[in-house]
Amino acid sequence: MKILKRLLTATLAVCILASMIVGASAIELKTGIGVVETGGLRLRAKPNTDAEILANAGIGDNVVIIRQVGDWYLVDYNLIVGYMHKDYLTFHDKKNVELGDAIVESGSVNLRSAPDVNSELLATLSQGETAYIIGFNCGWYKVQYNGQTGYIRSDLVALMEAPKFNAQLTVGKSPVVETMGQKIVALAQDYMGVPYVWGGTSPNGFDCSGFTQYVFKQMGYTLKRTAAQQLTNGYSVSNLKVGDLVFFTNTYATSAAASHVGIYMGDNLFIHAAGGGVKITSLDHEYYAPRYIGARRIVE
């Protein structure tokens, strides 16, 4: 117990170690809060891109991070436990966030004045009682209970509802895909992280136009090979829709009209193959915004 107390009262470095401690009921001490940085981030049953998709998170959604597993986080997203790739979450060991009600499932739980087992005892909650979570602090939930604000260890209570401001339409299932553009974007996201390879046209490695050509081909559409050539596919649009091709110039030395291409995802984001591999970027990005030259619609 003395060792456990030292862990729970330590700094951030020890907070990370504390995520590996398992409570008496086998509920783990949580590591932190993750904020989803890209729309449609997939929650998977296992830590790999071939695993079953359990849900799709919206940009800005909050997840409770249980622990890191390689390049993935094991998380609780809207009461569904699964894996999200760590590159698309921003980790916070301390954050004000409304996670909703949590329940004491067994025994009794102490409400403390600070996230420390040696801090003042404010109250004791019995089995079946609930407290409302308003924050997270290095393994502890900040809660409101009977007019008091205090802290409860995160391994001693269970969440009962999705975070207040999370998207609620995709809980427990993939979102309804209504258009071909959405299907194209969903497929494109399956290749997140595939390395950038000049001249690449397969999942072993893509360049920008090789990526768009490959994705559209899987859905039955033929695109020309280069970004400049794809600028002649479809027709020009100014009001972007999901699945449109977006084009950029002067991303490398060439006299071609377009030197880079990606697929518009909605929410001012596009997915593309670039340095670092297939990734999602904002059209407002300081590098891409001044180089944007327009969009072409291939599918309705």
**Enzyme catalytic residues:** 208, 260, 272
Report the alpha-carbon distance of residue 82 to residue 173 in Å, rounded.
12
Helix axes 208-218 and 180-189, enclosed angle (nearest 10): 120
Residue 117: which residues within 8 A CB-CB, separation 6 or more? 4, 5, 8, 9, 153
Query: Closest Cα to residue 65, out of 33, 37, 94?
Result: 33
Q: Show the 3-state SS of the chain.
A: CHHHHHHHCCCHHHHHHHCCCECCCCCECCCEEEEECCCCEEEECCCCCCCCEEEEECCCCEEEEEEEECCEEEEEECCEEEEEEHHHEEEECEEEEEEEEEECCCCEEEEECCCCCCCCEEEEEECCCEEEEEEEECCEEEEEECCEEEEEECCCCEECCCCCCCCCCCCCCCCCCCCHHHHHHHHHHCCCCCCECCCCEECCEECHHHHHHHHHHHCCCCCCCCHHHHCCCCEEECCCCCCCEEEECCCCCCCCCCCEEEEEEECCEEEEEECCEEEEEECCCCCCHHHEEEEEECCC
